[in-house]
Structure 1
Amino acid sequence: MAKKWGIRGLVAFGIYVLIMYVYLFHLNNGGIPDSLKGSPSDPETFMTDQELLLSGEYSKIRNFLFFILTPFEWLLYLFILISGLSYLFEKWSNVTKWKIMHNATYLFLLSLLTFIVFFPIDYFRYTLSKGYGISTQEFPSWMRDNIIDFWVNFVITVIVISVLYWLIKKSTKKWWFYAWLLTIPFSIFLMYIQPVIIDPLYNEFYPLKDKELEEKILLLAEEANIPAEHVFEVNMADKTNAMNAYVTGVGDNSRIVLWDTTLNRLSDEEILFIMGHEMGHYVEKHIYIGIFGYILMMFVGLWLLSKLMPWFIRKYGKILKIESLQQIHSLPLLLLISSFLLFFSNPLYNTVSRYQEARADQFAIEIVENPEAAISGFQKLAKAGLSEVNPPTLVKWFRYTHPPMLERINTIEETINNK
């Protein structure tokens, strides 16, 4: 029976991969509406023919990888379960009476296996990005980031999973609710320490060096009634040619971060628009709205897990080699269901995120009052990242947390025309 499940899973995955390949490579040409041709949002007006070609190729490959990797992850978890590997990992972990060490050993074996399986794919994505001129990171630096990722995720996972399975043993019916209650302070704690403990493990952060630009940002912040003492830049030029800026942290650890690539390649006027955008997130409390949304999604997700996990174990426990939800070797099933739920919640999350980003754009337009700089800045961002300005519908739904550049530039152009 387990063999049949494996074969069915492989066949279903193969059919899905074929469908996504046809959809992304043959049914979508990435064109733009005729009414926008020749406008500032038309990539032919600000990208060279070579950049247009590379952008199309790079976007299709990245989108294809995104859509096949998550189902591949599901297939891997299914294999770990039906092959008995998860059960063996737990058996091999019984080397100590200390439960935390038992869990840590099991999680190390599981994490190591998934790291090894996904390493060739991660390396391909790294070489792809470097081949298309996006990444500038050397292999030792990239490998160092991967190792840091592994250990940071491992430590957090040991804490979360140990507490989760302790709660499951203590209360088989209400564990999900108690787990949800704990996610609230834990998530806020992680967001609080992210800028000062986790992020510096990967890159060097320091206060903005350009004091003249800093003064302009401070004046803009003062106009918007925003405390702007937390403006940082980060050294990303050794890793990428792409540009970015973002808001991170909560409370007195909140900060606006600018990549040095953004500072090096955009004019002060274009940077001020980006800063206005990030200030829009601050003014409209998007970070706190995001925290509330995350907490709400965790409530729904954990409740669904509490219903789906026991059902799968009752119906397919023998095939999956799981006797009880309380056994930690049931974790791959929990991860499989969680990944499935997260994947199909992406359209909802991304829709809300795109709305917030559009609101932040509108705030920046109003406070900076330089739409021309906004348009030129967006064009440079699209060029630097070989962005797909008008992605296929499914790609937009599942991948885009920001409105596509076509929409962002066109919205600003309409603002100019309406004045």
Structure 2
Amino acid sequence: MRKAVSWSLFMYVCFGLFIYWYLFYGTSADIPEAYKGTSADPATFMNARELMLSQEFSRTKYLLFFLATPFEWLVLFLILVLGISKRFEDSAKLITRLRVGQVAIYFFYLSLVTTVLALPFKWMGYQVSKSYGISTQTLASWFKDIVIDFWVNFGIMLFVVATLMWLIRKSEKRWWFHAWALSVPFTIFLTFIQPVVLDPLYNDFQPLQNQELKQKILSLASEADIPADNVYEVNMSEKTKSLNAYVTGIGSNSRIVLWDTTLKQLSENEILFIMAHEMAHYVKKHIYWAVASSIAISFVGLYLIHRILQFIIAKWGGVLNIRTLASLSVLPLFFLVSSVLSFAVSPAENYVSRMEERVSDQYAMEMTEDKKAAVETFQDLSKTSLSQVNPPGLVKLFLYTHPTMLERITYLEEYGKK
């Protein structure tokens, strides 16, 4: 156990030092010489202070991401090898004999510990955003979101975990397939209710107040054969200065949403370009493809988790204090393996997402035919979020679901020239 703890801590520190060196010394965010002086060059639309702040803020934000993810793995691993998970299970069994009750008590312990231990990274992220003028959220509002997030995740995941443990007890060999079959309607259900049930827990949504702009957006929707009769705005200015807009939900619960920061800081033509981009996701059925790919990936993922859990328990079950796959103590290992697999597949998922975003940019250009507004939109997005125009390769691989601003602006500049 001591060896396992020592090596895990040593590997985490080494990884942290490598990431710090990579982000601050081992790579450069400068744009290629060929693009200097063009509209993609941040020096043409940011002043010297904004350029400096964008580099500092982006690197710090990336560092926190790359440190937080393996820290989550480290916490789950230590909960196992230090016997904490076993103590949680024993405590739950002492409190009640009811299996569902044991699952609920155990999972509450596990959720509380992991949430509390993850708070320092969330706190640092909040403080960094505040110090660089990105976040406008009060401490009380930030803490409220943390509490809401905890209980929403706990409620959803308790249902998932209770079902999972029941399936494992019923069949240790086929549980993964039954879990996948049940996940299909559950995934569709969550996607359907998210816009009208989950999102309003965090922010206030209302119909777009600017009626003239609303009609122009709905005209775009009509041109794209989108059966939309409303556009929503959300009061994100209470939390951030960043800009955003999105399409979420499926079927009758689909929503086109604009952040109020976007309404306040962008021109009408820029907003229309963003809206055309978001409508492209609906027209090209990207949301449905995302749901379908999630279902397909979960099939492969659950099978791999099943095989990996069997192997680990057979080889190191004693060290990890896991007797059988059906014991509650297996849950940290389940979350650890699924998180590692999710992280490993994220570059492929991000690549597909970037392709969809490129298609949406092209669609928006075809609809609006306003290259100037499109370029200025991405420049404004870079300035308000203090994001790097040309991030390091490792960052793009694991974090970027959209093309980099360098790629998006240069694409727009080349659009229509061929």
TM-score by length of 2: 0.99
Query: Offset at 1:351?
Result: 0.1
CA distance in 2, matches of 1:158, 1:13: 29
Counterpart position of 1:120: 120
Deviation (angstroms), 1:16:
1.2
Within 5 Å, give how 1:8-407 maps onto structure 2: 8-94=7-93, 95-407=95-407
Deviations 1:98-136 (A, max 9, x none): 222211111111111111111122111101100000000
Secondary structure of the corresponding residue to residue 62 of structure 2: helix
Report the AA paired with residue 45 of structure 2: F
Distance between the aligned counterparts of 1:225 and 1:201, measured in 2? 31
Encode CA deviations 1:197-234: one digit per residue, 9 max, x unaligned. 11101100011111000111111111111112242110
Summarize deviations over 1:298-338 as a string: whole Å, max 9, x none: 00110001100011000000000001010011100111101
Residue deviations 1:275-311, cap 9 Å, x none? 0001110110000000011001100110001100011
- More deviation, 233-242/213-222: 213-222
Q: Partners in 1 of 2:242 and 2:396 — Cα distance?
A: 20
Q: Distance in 2 between matches of 1:43 and 1:416?
A: 23
- Hey, what's the Cα distance between the residues in 1 that align with 2:40 and 2:237? 27
Rounded Cα–Cα distance in structure 2 between residues aligned with 1:70 and 1:85: 21
Distance in structure 1 (CA, Å) of the matches to 2:28 and 2:114: 35
CA distance in 2, matches of 1:77, 1:370: 50
Supply the AA of the counterpart residue of 1:67: F
Deviation at 1:417, TM superposition (A): 4.0
1:416–1:50 Cα change, 3 Å: farther
- CA offset at residue 247 of structure 1? 1.1
Tell me how far 1:416 sits from its aligned partner.
5.0
Distance 1:187 1:375 in 2: 36
Percent of pairs with identical residues: 50
Measure, in 1, the Cα distance between the counterparts of 2:209 and 2:97.
53
Q: Which residue is 2:4 aligned to?
A: 5
Counterpart residue type for residue 49 of structure 2: Q
CA distance in 2, matches of 1:27, 1:409: 26
What secondary structure does 1:177 align onto? Answer: helix
SS in 1 for 2:206: strand
Residue deviations 1:70-96, cap 9 Å, x none? 111111111000100000001111212
Moved over 3 A (4+): none
Query: Can you list the C-alpha shifts for 1:244-295, whole angstroms capped at 9, x where unaligned?
Result: 0111111100111110000111111000000000111011000000001100
Contact in 1 for aligned 2:218/2:230 (Cα 8 Å): no
Partners of 1:194 and 1:14 in 2: CA distance: 38
Shift of 1:97: 2.6
The amino acid of 1:51's aligned partner reads E
Query: 1: distance between equivalents of 2:117 and 2:18?
Result: 24
Mapped partners of 1:230, 1:186: distance in 2: 27
CA distance in 1, matches of 2:13, 2:123: 22
Distance 1:288 1:91 in 2: 43
Q: CA deviation at 1:28?
A: 1.4
Q: Distance in 2 between matches of 1:132 and 1:229?
A: 38
Helix, strand or coil at the partner of 1:77 = helix
Comparing 224-233 with 136-145, greater Cα deviation is found at: 224-233
SS of match in other structure, 2:415:
helix
Distance 2:195 2:337 in 1: 30
Task: Name the amino acid aligned to 1:54.
Answer: L
Aligned residues: 417
Deviation (angstroms), 1:25: 0.7
Deviates more, 1:133-142 or 1:63-72: 63-72
Q: Is the 8 A contact 1:148 1:201 kept in 2?
A: yes
Rounded Cα–Cα distance in structure 2 between residues aligned with 1:120 and 1:67:
14
Give the secondary structure class of the aligned counterpart of 1:93: helix
Determine the C-alpha separation between the residues in 1 that align with 2:100 and 2:193.
Answer: 23
1:343-366, Cα deviation, whole Å (9 max, x unpaired):
111100000000000000000000
C-alpha contact (below 8 Å) 1:40/1:375 kept by paired residues: yes
State the one-letter code of the partner of 2:173. K
Deviations 1:175-204 (A, max 9, x none): 000000111100111111111111101100
Distance in 2 between the 1:416 and 1:133 partners? Answer: 37
The 10-residue stretch of structure 1 (156-165 or 228-237) with the greater mean CA deviation from structure 2: 228-237
Secondary structure of the corresponding residue to residue 37 of structure 2 = coil
Q: 2-side partners of 1:183 and 1:24: how far apart?
A: 38
Letter in structure 2 aligned against 1:210: N
Measure, in 1, the Cα distance between the counterparts of 2:140 and 2:304. Answer: 41
Aligned to 1:23, the other structure's residue is in SS state helix
Structure 2: gaps (5+ residues): none
**How large is the RMSD of aligned CA atoms in angstroms?**
0.9
